[in-house]
Structure 1
């Protein structure tokens, strides 16, 4: 509480520590899954251009992808691979099977049929080779759950503009889904966190942007906090601040 001269008494807003701790726990749980490494990568693997709004004028950015229609069939193609890294050139395409997958968009979800080939290396019922789908503006998480670039970039847009937590964004998407059908559920918060981080690993976010006056390495850099913060009590070998500098 503070007093401003010749003005009303100001009361500092209370911090919702419970909500903040819940968000930290969500990030820690997702980090412990270590997705994208040790044979646990996602199916999509090709580079993904960043949105136009966060790219420099001279950089390649996301263009409107080919329209993906509800009910469309997803064929096995040369971009297909397994999460372990086995590619389409290493398997017999005659062993194709067709399964159902769910596409999660920004406002609703729908089912599609996807053509898969069992992985000869993993020899696991849930390990198959599937298409990358980047050309359709889709991110293939595990051949069962597919997410639109629009949805994933939507979170990036939200948290950079208004510091939106993962849980809050997932809640707004869930509510939007309910407008289409009360049983139209969104994925869990933890799954979305894992998918978003895997998605951003494929985005070419390393920018060559530099100050036109000071160049790429100014003597002084002023940073105003971070959007993806982690409480110091949650630090571990796998969880560290996003501004950490590595060689």
Structure 2
């Protein structure tokens, strides 16, 4: 409930729904005391300033160099448990003082409007691969439920072109959730044939009236919009920082090998 950013009064109300109030009781005063003992302290008690959050922000920037204001607030909340302890004015002052160039880049973006239609939750599962990390021998693949935005899986392996491997990602999620979507969706490519065939077979198995139909959509010319957005956000918010760590590891590895050979 704290991670969901409910205030103290809202959390107390929710807790009263979960405990036996005939035997136990909890009031706002006692709850505030418990929060202090657990280190869950609000903004006015910690009194963070732009200077006091500078070191933490620098550490996060090493991994997330292009994350915007809202992304950084979320990262501070989930990674450092600090979002409740920092005022909104401190956030904006920090960005205006130390990162004005990122604000200018954000305002200069030219957005393209595209439509994506889904009837509801689990109407579509969209899948896609990501090849931008191939230089490090890493291949990504993901599946997303577009209506809710839930990431069903995101896997890293040394390849993402094997239809049998990609099919296991889909089947693992189906096994865990206990249901399938109405339709799956992907870019054209033989690596997605396994999911297309399995989805169609399972749908026809549960509904014989679907015999002779394909329960998979092939999206052409970058029309798999939700996945393109996800990979773009990953690239701008995370990959650039993570890539610098990978580059350092690769270069350090070659340096160690050279030194070993020279000896």
> Normalised by the shorter chain, which TM-score bucket?
under 0.3
Which structure's relative contact order is higher, taking Cα pairs within 8 Å and 6+ residues apart?
Answer: 1
Q: Quick check: which one's helix share is greater?
A: 2
TM-score when scaled to structure 1?
Answer: 0.24
